[in-house]
Amino acid sequence: MDMKEYIEQAERDLLHTYNRYQIVLDRGEGVYLYDIEGKKYLDFCAGIAVFALGYHNEEYNNALKDQIDKVIHTSNYYYNVPAIEAARRIKKASGMDRVFFTNSGAEANEGAIKAARKYAFLKDGTTDHEIIAMNNSFHGRTMGALAVTGNAHYREAFEPLIGNIRFADFNDYDSVLAQVTEKTCAIMLEPVQGEGGLYPAAEDFLKKIRGLCDERDILLIFDEVQCGMGRTGYMYAWQKYGVKPDIMTTAKALGCGVPIGAFLMTERVAQHSLEAGDHGTTYGGNPLACAAAEKVLDLFEKGHIIEHVREVAPYLEQRLEELKDRYPEITERRGTGLMQGLVFDRPVRDIIASAMDKGLILINAGANIIRFVPPLIITKENVDEMISVLEQVIPDENRKF
């Protein structure tokens, strides 16, 4: 079948929950993807911040092939070496103490919510505790993760969700403080909001929240599903601020394409929250997924990925700022590291589609924002290539020279 026929077949068979772009991708190499007709695309999406190491990394691929030849799945009734090694490595990278492997970021956030509620339940035996989340946040599509997602449009058709969730404004400490009650058990936020518009947290905001949580024995949960794994120039974004959470979630680039996530916690929380029988998963922590995570963490260290991000990210920021200065319709650049956004005064879908026609894959974050979350191995030359395409597809009227 040709590309058109494959797309028509997909539209007959798949549930229509995505407005997909009209290409069928087939393979990848480095920072490039190819469709089934052989057209080449520079990828500045990375599977939505997933493929940090780029495509067709030989060491990564071989690690998965080796594990497939051993065992793919055994269940959590038994130990397996890849899970033990992956847990050791992610503890070292994150500075956290205990790990629970999941299948996705949303599932990791579900586990974090359960851990926080169990922690509060063990303190006073009641079940009416509250969680404060942030407006414009995004934590996933499952019912618990959706309940703490600060966008009413995502929630309204699926209510009632889990209750006792309060929303405050990101980077506004007084707004958070106004939502705190004697029933508050956790405050949950993304150190860099992704879907919500590429907003980094202010350092003072995080430090005040940490102090509030310490004072009142409230758990601080950081969702690092998108902003974690080196994307900000730190293994986890909170490390830039020196504000450590009690519970942290991670996924996306943790597996670099193999579905895996995790929630992690401090020893104090681990000793006073989830116990045997409280939480589980059939696939979470299986040997294949953990072999992927263990090799990803190994390659991050061997390949000096964090150092590379710190070298190339300022250049990406510079080129995006130059673009903003040249086009009045670009009102703002924001973000941090290799997690950037350009805010336009109009919807960007047509620009993204035109860029794809010219061999550049981009995604949005909201109707008016182009989001840049490329593989972490991009070079300055790749940045220049991306900018060159954008200059061809942004409308010419009123361009500043």
- Does position 379 have pLDDT exceeding 90, yes or no? yes
Summarize pLDDT for 251-275 with one digit per residue, the tens: 999 999 999 999 999 999 999 999 9
Cα-based angle 222, 283, 59 (whole degrees, multiple of 5): 80
- Does position 121 have pLDDT exceeding 60, yes or no? yes
Tell me how far the alpha carbon of residue 10 is from its chain's centroid: 27
How long a stretch of residues is the chain?
A: 401
Q: 3-56+304-393 and 71-302: same fold?
A: no
Q: Residue 327's pLDDT is what?
A: 95
Cis peptide preceding 160, ω within 30 of 0: yes
Domain boundaries, the chain: 3-56+304-393, 71-302
Cα(119)–Cα(220) distance, integer angstroms: 12
Summarize pLDDT for 1-52 with one digit per residue, the tens: 899 999 999 999 999 999 999 999 999 999 999 999 999 999 999 999 999 9
DSSP string, 137-167: ----SSHHHHHT-S-HHHHGGG-S-SS-EEE
Q: Residue 128's pLDDT is what?
A: 96
Give the global pTM.
Answer: 0.96
Cα(43)–Cα(356) distance, integer angstroms: 10
Phi, psi (5° rounding) for residue 333? -110, 135
Cα(360)–Cα(347) distance, integer angstroms: 18
Summarize pLDDT for 302-359 with one digit per residue, the tens: 999 999 999 999 999 999 999 999 999 999 999 999 999 999 999 999 999 999 999 9
Cα(366)–Cα(167) distance, integer angstroms: 20
Task: Label residue 151 by pLDDT band (50, 70, 90).
Answer: very high
- Does position 397 have pLDDT exceeding 60, yes or no? no
In CATH, 71-302 is 3.40.640.10: yes
Q: Residue 316's pLDDT is what?
A: 98
Closest residue by Cα to residue 300 from 239, 375, 386: 375
CATH code at 3-56+304-393: 3.90.1150.10
